[in-house]
Structure 1
Amino acid sequence: MPRPSSQSRILVFTRTTDYRHDSIPDGVAAFRALGAEHGFAVDATEDPAVFEEGLRGYAAVVFLSTSGDVLTPAGRTGLRAYCAAGGGFMGVHAAACTEYGWPFYGDLLGARFDHHPAFQPGTLVIEDRDHPATAHLGATWDFTDEWYEFRDSPRGRVHVIASADAASYEGGEGSDHPLVWTREHGGARVFYTALGHAAEAYTDPDFLAHLLGGLRHVMPAR
């Protein structure tokens, strides 16, 4: 897939009104470093007013460990309009813990967070080894994270890129655990990864390549 051009710009949104991850500054720094290396600019903000202004000029919007209600009514309208115009949307980790009262957002992302077991090592099964977010990996990926459980499985509504092997960690429930997926909704290209709880993730080369691949999926080809 073509590399984002030097004229591309993404918005990294990190507002929280519920649990706040200590890793957010590390995540912002990681996106800035990826932008510097791969030729796109990064604006990071916690101000919801940017959504009210129309999001013009952004090749992608990233919700990085947002939580709770983070948009104003006018901001919701702005994000919906951005999606309808073909915008790219990427959610990272607690983006699934966001805007529970807005049905459009849940449909956009594909699933809503319910709970997770303790932070611990586990294994992902890579279901799409050709996707740019996982093409650098083998058939499995050992990682340490929170192993999200969702209110219902998004499988069937999304294209699953990777799922958790629930037998590889304590507290896994059931047999189907999608954690990384893509979809199109409301006109937008969407990528979501449930990974990214800890600061250490944002210096892990495999995870950085994973984030870059997600961006390459949602950003328009140049």
Structure 2
Amino acid sequence: MIFHKFLMAAVCGLFLFNTIAEAAPKKILVITQSAGFRHQPVNRKGKETCQVEDVLAKIGKSSGIFTTVNSQNSIEAITRDNLKQFDGIFFYTTGMLLPDGDPREALMDFIKSGKGFVGAHSAADTFKKYQGYVSMINGSFAGHPWNAGSNNGFLNHEPTHPTVAMLGKEFMWKDEIYQYNNFDPSAVRVLFSLNMAKSKPQMPYHVPVCWVRNYGKGRVFFTNLGHNGSTWENETFQKHLIEGFKWSLKLTDGPAEPNPELQAKESIKAFALFASQKMNLDHDKLLKDMMAKSGDAKFIKLVRENGWKSKGRNMDLIKAVLAEVK
């Protein structure tokens, strides 16, 4: 009887220990170094922390999901030994943060080993000359026609995904939005994009804004929102980030399989809207005719390449696509 009670107590103690261990907050390395342009939300302005660091510490504590360790010195922070203590890493950064060789590979290996990566805004304007990072985050900054003061529309392609469920199917947001070089539609699952019908300027190409992917055994979550300080104080954006961290840390699930077919249709939608307005064409008919070719890889490649190369100005490239629709 005594042994039985002892055994039950031991089992209960083990269960309690495991529950506490599982509930323990994850540890995130927060990198806000600017080796290029410095954004206001990561400017410490003589203080110990910047706005981004303060917000992340606050939402990590209030959610109980994570604690943060801050650094604006990547060479010191991103080493194989130092990374061992962390469950994930966050970037709001610019420029070439690390020298060539092992420091960069240590970062990539950290994510591939099963850790989480969360990137905001100019994380996509970082390591532009390091292909390993560009491939991991799946893009590099190529301008922002949608400036900080612009209020643009967005289409949420997967409103049931935990990382974007708080945003609704369509929404408006005031922030600076990037467009990208080196973006591979077959590598990521795009969760929301610019809605060209409700954005200015309107361009003849798809502009993804938030996406997720698996990277080795790890998970990558990127959102381009975050240029404006007001975005960081917005509770909806903070929920977006919390869920991004949870997903990247494997505390929640949501699909990460790439969705190039959806992206192809978004490319068609943006192109058809632009071309119909500029060329005075019947939008609905053009969209229907183009969508009928959405499964044609050669046609989609032409739509993407000519739309992007035109920059909304070279109408000969637009006409070349239209010639393939007839």
Question: Is residue 29 of structure 1 aligned with residue 58 of structure 2?
Answer: no
The range that moved more, 141-150 or 68-77, is: 68-77
What whole-Å deviation, never above 9, does each CA across 1:61-91 have from its counterpart, x for those lacking one?
0101x00101233321211221231111111
Question: Is residue 15 of structure 1 aligned with residue 43 of structure 2?
Answer: no
Confirm or deny: 8 A CA contact 2:188 2:211 kept in the other structure. yes
What whole-Å deviation, never above 9, does each CA across 1:6-57 have from its counterpart, x for those lacking one?
3311111011111000112222111111111011211111121221134112
Superposition CA RMSD, Å: 1.7
Equivalent in 236, 249, 268 of residue 206 of structure 1: 236
Question: Which AA in structure 1 matches 2:63?
Answer: H
1:83 is paired with a residue whose SS is: helix
2:123 corresponds to which residue? 95
C-alpha displacement at 1:153, in angstroms? 4.1
Task: Report the TM-score, using the length of structure 2 for normalisation.
Answer: 0.64
Structure with greater proportional strand content: 1
2:207 corresponds to which residue? 177
Bigger Rg over Cα: 2
The range that moved more, 208-217 or 129-138, is: 129-138
Equivalent in 155, 162, 173 of residue 125 of structure 1: 155
Question: Is residue 41 of structure 1 aligned with residue 67 of structure 2?
Answer: yes
Equivalent in 67, 71, 74 of residue 98 of structure 2: 71
Task: Report the TM-score, using the length of structure 1 for normalisation.
Answer: 0.92
Q: In 2 relative to 1, CA 58–36 (structure 1 residues): closer, same or farther, beyond 3 Å?
A: same
- Residues 149-160 of structure 1 mapped to structure 2, 5 A cutoff: 149-160=179-190
Confirm or deny: 8 A CA contact 1:80 1:186 kept in the other structure. no
- Aligned-partner Cα distance in 2 for 1:5–1:38: 11
- Aligned-partner Cα distance in 2 for 1:68–1:113: 11
Q: How many pairs does the alignment contain?
A: 218
- Aligned-partner Cα distance in 2 for 1:121–1:26: 22
- Aligned-partner Cα distance in 2 for 1:110–1:23: 23
C-alpha displacement at 1:157, in angstroms? 1.6
The range that moved more, 7-16 or 162-171, is: 162-171
Could you list the structure 1 runs, at least 4 aligned residues long, displaced by more than 4 angstroms after superposition: none
C-alpha displacement at 1:123, in angstroms? 1.2
2:77 corresponds to which residue? 50
Q: 5+ residue gaps in structure 1?
A: none
Question: Which AA in structure 2 matches 1:12?
Answer: V
Q: Which has the higher contact order (CA 8 A, sep 6+)?
A: 1
Question: Which AA in structure 2 matches 1:150?
Answer: Y
Confirm or deny: 8 A CA contact 1:129 1:135 kept in the other structure. yes
The range that moved more, 203-212 or 150-159, is: 150-159
2:174 corresponds to which residue? 144
Question: Is residue 6 of structure 1 aligned with residue 24 of structure 2?
Answer: yes
Structure with greater proportional helix content: 2
- Fraction of identical pairs, as percent: 25
Question: Which AA in structure 2 matches 1:32?
Answer: A
C-alpha displacement at 1:186, in angstroms? 3.6
C-alpha displacement at 1:152, in angstroms? 4.7
Q: In 2 relative to 1, CA 77–125 (structure 1 residues): closer, same or farther, beyond 3 Å?
A: same
Q: 5+ residue gaps in structure 2?
A: 1-21, 43-49, 253-326
